[in-house]
Structure 1
Amino acid sequence: MSTKKSGAADVQSSPSSCSTIVVTEASGHHVLKIDGYTRTTMMVATGEHLDSGEFHVGGYAWHLRYYPNGYDQEFSSSISFALVRTAGAGDNVRLHARAKISLLDLAGEPVARYSQPVDKCSTSKASDPWVCKSFIERDELEKSGHVVGDRLAVRCDLTFNVQDRLVRELVAVPPPLLRRHIGELLGDARTSDVRFKVGGETFPAHRCVLAARSPVFRAELLGPMREHAATTIRVDDMDAAVFAALLRFVYTDELPELDGGSVAAMAQHLLVAADRYDMERLKKVCEDKMVRHLDVGTAATSLALAEQHDCPELKKAILRFMASPARLKAVMASDGYEHLVTSFPSIATEILAMFAAH
């Protein structure tokens, strides 16, 4: 029986495939408010910057850099800004973006005359900033009428293309609610298991929350030296309003809103409390507020606290603030200066040397 050979090789069919490249446009904006504009120009040198809070556009994290005395010496008479991508999925991807910085008027609207696009809007590294070196001359800004009460605001508008190789159905995920839920326990006497007596007021609290936020509270409330039967603990040498603000930070990671005149005083008291309970973030928050509300009336007291509670960055900022001869003389005439030089003679030596140099 004969076999029949095929005249051509059998052809196997290949499976078909398909992929989709989806390019969408992401856009958003961030408003940066600068409170204490004059102080920023005095305390930040040319080429140095202050960072905005982090904001998110298109799945990436960004922040603005504010250069009150210019990006470099060439632009030292200007205010400069830089836009930096700090994090995001696929940080090595090249983004083609359009960015614009605008000065805002009192109604929060961009001022067309002071809106400037950022020219260099492509980068291959997350660390490469997009820089607006000559946003506005400081003299022109101060005469523009848009700096009111030593405050101004700018807005960064950002638009760029986002490439995604897969089309996905997204599920809306609610924002984290843990901080809000913990915050709702603040002052809840029904669930509290400890009370603090401070300045004639009583504050209900929760041992586990306090222990999680402060190693000192943990040792006092849960450690081997705790008083097992104690349900009320007396706190001496602290004002009730200060302890209330401390508890608010413990439960919410935020401080209560304060009036302009009371911010510096409350920050000073809270710095002492933060050091007492070893709460490093609260300590830094207080240092920041003390610097932002620094004046000749608070400089000496703040400097004493910086030395007493080991705050080298705060000390450096205050000494820099006092570098002006006129300001230094005003500080030396303030009520707190005598206490400063009596308690910390070494600081007095530093100040006198600085004064002699001028």
Structure 2
Amino acid sequence: MTMPTTVSTCTAVTEQGKHVFEIFDYSKHRGMGTGELIRSGTFSVGGFDWAIRFYPDGFATTTRDYISVYLELLSKDTRARASCDLSLVDQTTGLPTSVHKTDLRVFNSGDLSRFAPQCELFMRRGVFEASPYLRDDHLTIQCIATVRKGPQVSAPVLLDEIEVPPSNIAEHLWNFLDAGEGVDVRFSVGGESFAAHKVVLAMRSPVFKAELFGRMREAKEQLVTIEEMQPEVFRTVLHFIYTDSLPDMDGSEGDADREMIQHLLVAADRYAVDRLKLVCQSILRNNLDVETVSATMALAYQHNCDRLKDVCLEFITSSSSVMDSVVATQGYKNLKTTCPSALVDLFEKSRKLHKA
């Protein structure tokens, strides 16, 4: 008789979070005095509360020629095993540059170890003020905090149980399309040809269903021409329809990725691929900044993205400094001509806030 054997596993669990702290009117904050600080809003990572401290005139008199930046553990009477990466964002490219990294260590709320870094020399002020990290009196500090939580031990299972792997139907569907097996319709998009399966498209999009199985002309044709769409956008729409996910995008091309997501949102709305439309809205919301919020708001109004509209309005009216910075952009000037209804809502929102 075989003796039953059970097994359990222990894994290290980590949680990571990013906080972006935007500071406007830097020149008005400078001169507030050595040791005087501006603290970000409180954010939570790994069950702990944190904040960013910014000292425009340095933390101490010995470092008054530097700006000082710290991550601070705010939770009381606790210890956290964590690491952090503090960056300044290039205002011309929108890309962060790491200035300080703290390796995994214990943050103790009861002593100075609650701060990272353990050094006051974040960046020499002269270097900072001449750098692209400061533009139009505006700087952005980014902090990625990683918290190592307690070990996670699984429940015991029989060693001879048969393990079932995760679903891979999306991979099979994409490989089936990639190999061109069983395709029964082709699309011409911007001079490029794409093959697909009518039944898959119809399952995922009511618009494709009407076009390919309804009385519309496309239902009788093997070649469908799609106007006003870039080939790469249609290829990505197909990828999402077959796999329910977006392909990897080159993160080094931030503006190109943002433009692709904007085009994808338009395509998702055109073909009623609702989940792709929500995915695009979520990505645009997570990458809002002063330069992009006007274009994103115009897109939200044009394609009935109500939640994204609200997020854009909240961003612009979050402070008078943010609103002034947005109004000064070319995107806002474009918004006035392409989407005047957005300005009406913006005015109403601003008026209500001033009354409050």
Q: TM-score range by the shorter chain?
A: 0.5 to 0.7
2:226 is matched with which residue?
235
Decide whether the 8 Å contact of 1:101 with 1:156 is kept in 2: yes
Q: 1:177 aligns with which of 155, 168, 171?
A: 168
Distance in structure 2 (CA, Å) of the matches to 1:306 and 1:78? 36
Matched, 1:158 2:138: no
Q: 2:211 aligns with which of 216, 220, 225?
A: 220
Decide whether the 8 Å contact of 1:304 with 1:340 is kept in 2: yes
- Aligned sequence identity (%): 31
1:37 is matched with which residue?
20
Matched, 1:271 2:265: yes
Q: 1:351 aligns with which of 331, 346, 354?
A: 346
Deviation at 1:218, TM superposition (A): 1.5
Deviation at 1:286, TM superposition (A): 0.7
1:45-69, Cα deviation, whole Å (9 max, x unpaired): 968879xxxxxxxxxxxxx678776
Gapped runs of 5+ residues in structure 2? 23-39, 53-70, 86-97, 123-139
Decide whether the 8 Å contact of 2:84 with 2:143 is kept in 1: no
The residue type paired with residue 83 of structure 2 is L
SS across alignment from 1:189: coil
Distance in structure 2 (CA, Å) of the matches to 1:296 and 1:159? 41
Flag the 1:209–1:108 CA change in 2: closer, same or farther, 3 A.
farther
SS across alignment from 2:12: strand
Flag the 1:111–1:208 CA change in 2: closer, same or farther, 3 A.
same
Deviation at 1:170, TM superposition (A): 1.5
1:167-191, Cα deviation, whole Å (9 max, x unpaired): 5631122332211111213443353
Deviation at 1:306, TM superposition (A): 0.9
Decide whether the 8 Å contact of 1:325 with 1:355 is kept in 2: no
The residue type paired with residue 299 of structure 1 is V
Decide whether the 8 Å contact of 1:264 with 1:294 is kept in 2: no
Matched, 1:102 2:82: yes
Matched, 1:331 2:323: no
Q: 1:341 aligns with which of 328, 336, 341?
A: 336
Matched, 1:291 2:285: yes
Decide whether the 8 Å contact of 1:33 with 1:152 is kept in 2: yes
Deviation at 1:149, TM superposition (A): 8.1
Distance in structure 2 (CA, Å) of the matches to 1:144 and 1:101? 24
Q: TM-score by structure 1 length? A: 0.62
Decide whether the 8 Å contact of 2:8 with 2:154 is kept in 1: yes
Flag the 1:142–1:287 CA change in 2: closer, same or farther, 3 A.
farther
Matched, 1:111 2:104: yes
Distance in structure 1 (CA, Å) of the matches to 2:118 and 2:274? 37
Cα RMSD (Å) of the superposition? 4.1
1:314-334, Cα deviation, whole Å (9 max, x unpaired): 112212221232322232233
SS across alignment from 1:38: strand
Decide whether the 8 Å contact of 2:80 with 2:108 is kept in 1: yes
1:140-168, Cα deviation, whole Å (9 max, x unpaired): 799797xx98352414333255566x856
Q: What count of residue pairs does the alignment treat as equivalent? A: 275
The residue type paired with residue 330 of structure 1 is S
Matched, 1:315 2:309: yes
Greater radius of gyration (CA)? 1
Matched, 1:200 2:188: no
Decide whether the 8 Å contact of 2:7 with 2:159 is kept in 1: no
1:51-104, Cα deviation, whole Å (9 max, x unpaired): xxxxxxxxxxxxx6787769xxxxxx96779xxxxxxxxxxxxxxxxx965225
The residue type paired with residue 38 of structure 1 is F
1:241-263, Cα deviation, whole Å (9 max, x unpaired): 21122112112222231322212
2:256 is matched with which residue?
262
Flag the 1:167–1:183 CA change in 2: closer, same or farther, 3 A.
closer
SS across alignment from 2:199: helix
SS across alignment from 2:331: helix
1:124-163 pair list within 5 angstroms: 150=142, 152-160=144-152
1:296-307 pair list within 5 angstroms: 296-307=290-301
Decide whether the 8 Å contact of 2:205 with 2:273 is kept in 1: yes
Flag the 1:194–1:141 CA change in 2: closer, same or farther, 3 A.
farther
Q: 1:252 aligns with which of 243, 246, 255?
A: 243
The residue type paired with residue 285 of structure 2 is V
Distance in structure 2 (CA, Å) of the matches to 1:141 and 1:158? 25
Flag the 1:331–1:46 CA change in 2: closer, same or farther, 3 A.
closer
2:64 is matched with which residue?
none
Deviation at 1:215, TM superposition (A): 1.5
